[in-house]
Amino acid sequence: MQRNLSHLASEEYDILVVGAGIYGACAARDAALRGLKVAIIDKGDFGSATSQNSLKIIHGGLRYLQQADVIRMRESIRERRTLMKIAPQFVHPLSCIMPTYGHLTKGREALFIGLLINDIIGFDRNRLEDPEKHLPRGRTIPKKKVVELLPGIATEGLTGGAIWYDCQTHNSERLLLSFLLAAAAEGARAANYVEATGFLTRGRRVIGVAAIDRISGEKFELRARVVLTTTGPWVGNLLGRLGTRPRGSPLRLSSAINLVTRSLIGGYATGISSRAGLIEEDAFVRRGSRLYFIAPWRSVSLVGTAYAPYEGDPDSYRVTEREITDLIAEIDRAYPAGGLTRADVKAVHAGLLPMDKVSRRTGEVILSKRYCLIDHRTHDGWDGLISVLGVKYTTARAVAEKAVDIALRKLGSAFVTSRSDEAPIYGGRIPRFDDFLAAAVHGRPEGISPESMTHLVYHYGSRYPDILSYVQREPALANPLPGQKYVIGAEVVHAVREEMALTLADCVLRRTELGSAGDPGEACLAACANLMARERGWDHARREKEIREAEAVYIPRV
Ligand SMILES: Cc1cc2nc3c(=O)[nH]c(=O)nc-3n(C[C@H](O)[C@H](O)[C@H](O)COP(=O)(O)OP(=O)(O)OC[C@H]3O[C@@H](n4cnc5c(N)ncnc54)[C@H](O)[C@@H]3O)c2cc1C
């Protein structure tokens, strides 16, 4: 996948996707798989906004049972299975546990019934060839077992626990990138750091966008028969330039924050409830969700999610130190045995999500539950324009498919059925994951440790030979980077040459797993910057600037 803007601007596309978060990436791939001429741009790096900040849970929507929302549950269950099938290297089963207190709606008996219904609704969840992807039935467990699994959990009123299974992705950034790489393999053109600054119109028809290269400052136009905006929290900003906006606007946004901490609970993703009433009146998380998750992820824990209304421009959003300390205090109250302190926080994942309202009764943010898919011809009379505003990473592919269905109708071409729920994404050609992994580790070349080989399979799937090809030419690239156990130099070179990593932060946060779970350290950043400098021809000053900017990612606003 190469960034070539003159090439990009030289054609008229069937569909131009503006915004390469997970929704845009899925739409670009879906459209390219149907034989459309596709381009996709993002004003930052691919997947550098909301999609980079997910809790990484690919979930079947057990929580929607509370609203008896079977349709949404079915959609989530189907997409969870689809992702396991098309992206088997990234999406793996996750065991989840929730302690139960009392005997009422959140008691063990109620959860027993809930899990039973969940299994009935998800009757076809295991229609997959690979046994590694099969999710066992949910079950309840006695109090004694809960205390064993979650040492230090509050025991007052504890009646037992519920165990169920969802999925998790160990690398949501590479999962997204692999959708884009798959789109590119089908002929889609992609460019990061290209912003749509306005629309090109003819009468009441959108015929493309005015764009700016955020690297060189050069302005140009991109023409397309259909423009699809998948700009996440920026949806209002871009559509505003056309004098329109999504129905129900002004769009209300909530911040959403997760902490990456030292490992707090191993084995199970754990749902814990905070104890309301103990929080100071003006505390940030008072307005947030009271159910938190502590999920094991790589060798750390992901802790969250705290929500609060956000009214500023999405570009200005930065997490504050106060928000971090409030969330720590809240988690500490909910699970004192974890002993969480500020020193345990290695990174913060934060983004903006559409919200419906703030509950007057509880002060909690009520997030939007439904995605928004707009055909602007019927919405506000603008033809050639479709907009999507998603609410979950899990269901992005399905929503993107619907958006491309509309685009096809607009194009007036023969209807081609989507194959995006069948075709493997980049590196996804793996019929049985465990067998594939074992064979790759067994047949690894000299100089690659079993741990690095395992890591390569989990991150590049069936395309791991792409990475090994660099090692053949330059054996030193098989060495893990300083302070790292598995990530090798060849991944950095590949990121620059084939995956459009333009900055050190692109490489550290979104092409490799070096920095997404915390600061990888000075020596690692320096080694990574050296490799990038060699590839990109950076001078000393540029290299230093890149290191400073990558380090700044880990410093919250005061
Ligand atoms: C903390 C947190 C935890 C979450 N946990 C989960 C979870 O566990 N499971 C789950 O399923 N979901 C989860 N979500 C929700 C999920 O992450 C989002 O629904 C999803 O990532 C939204 O994707 P998107 O593509 O719509 O938006 P984004 O990822 O924000 O993508 C929009 C893109 O558009 C680009 N853009 C904007 N304007 C322009 C322009 N003018 N020109 C070009 N490009 C532009 C932006 O740069 C951005 O990259 C979580 C969200 C957060 C914040």
Q: Is 369 left (phi over 0), alpha (psi -120 to 50) or beta?
A: alpha
Helix/strand/coil for 426: coil
Nearest CA to ligand 1 atom 21: 51
HEC sequence for 146-169: HHHHCCCCCCCCEEEEEEEEEEEE
Using the atom order of ligand 1, give the atom closest to the CA of residue 56: 8
Q: In the chain, count of helices (H) and strands (E)?
A: 17, 18
- Is the N-terminal amide bond of 465 cis, ω within 30° of 0? no
Mutate to test the pocket of ligand 1, among 239, 242, 393, 402 (most ligand atoms within 8 A of CB): 393
- Pocket of ligand 1, candidates 8, 45, 55, 254: which has the most ligand atoms within 8 Å of its Cβ, to mutate? 55
Stretch among 95-104, 261-270, 282-291 having the lowest mean pLDDT: 282-291
**Nearest C-alpha to atom 27 of ligand 1 is from which residue?**
232
Tell me the mean pLDDT in the region 154-162: 92
pLDDT tops 60 at residue 158: yes
Cα 387 to averaged position of ligand 1 atoms, centre (Å): 14
Dump pLDDT digits (tens) for 22-41.
999 999 999 999 999 999 99
CB 300, CB 263: distance < 8 Å: yes
Q: What is the pLDDT at residue 247?
A: 61
Mutate to test the pocket of ligand 1, among 26, 50, 291, 510 (most ligand atoms within 8 A of CB): 50
Degrees, nearest 5: CA angle 186-189-193: 140
The model carries a pTM of 0.95
312-368: pLDDT as tens digits: 999 999 999 999 999 999 999 889 999 999 999 999 999 999 999 998 888 889 999
User: Coil, strand or helix: which one is 16?
Assistant: strand
Average pLDDT, the chain: 93
Q: How far is the CA of 369 from the centre of ligand 1 (A)?
A: 15
SS3 category, 500: coil
* Ligand 1 atom at minimal distance to the Cα of residue 391: 19
Average pLDDT over residues 370-392: 94
Q: 360 CA to middle of ligand 1, Å?
A: 27
Expressed in angstroms and rounded, the spacing between residue 256 Cα and the centre of ligand 1 is 11
Among protein residues, the one whose CA lies closest to atom 52 of ligand 1: 54
How far does residue 298's CA lie from ligand 1's centre (Å)?
22
Q: How far is the CA of 49 from the centre of ligand 1 (A)?
A: 5
Nearest-atom number in ligand 1 for the CA of 390 is 26
The set of protein residues with a Cβ atom below 6 angstroms from ligand 1 is 18-24, 41-44, 48-51, 53-57, 195-196, 230-234, 238, 256-258, 304-305, 349-351, 353, 390-394
- How far apart (Å, rounded) are the C-alpha atoms in residues 324 and 284? 9
Which whole number is the average pLDDT over 90-99? Answer: 96
CA of 537 to the centre of ligand 1 (A): 32
Q: How far apart are CA 90 and CA 182, in angstroms?
A: 14
For range 363-383, the mean pLDDT: 92
Q: Residue of the nearest CA to atom 25 in ligand 1?
A: 21
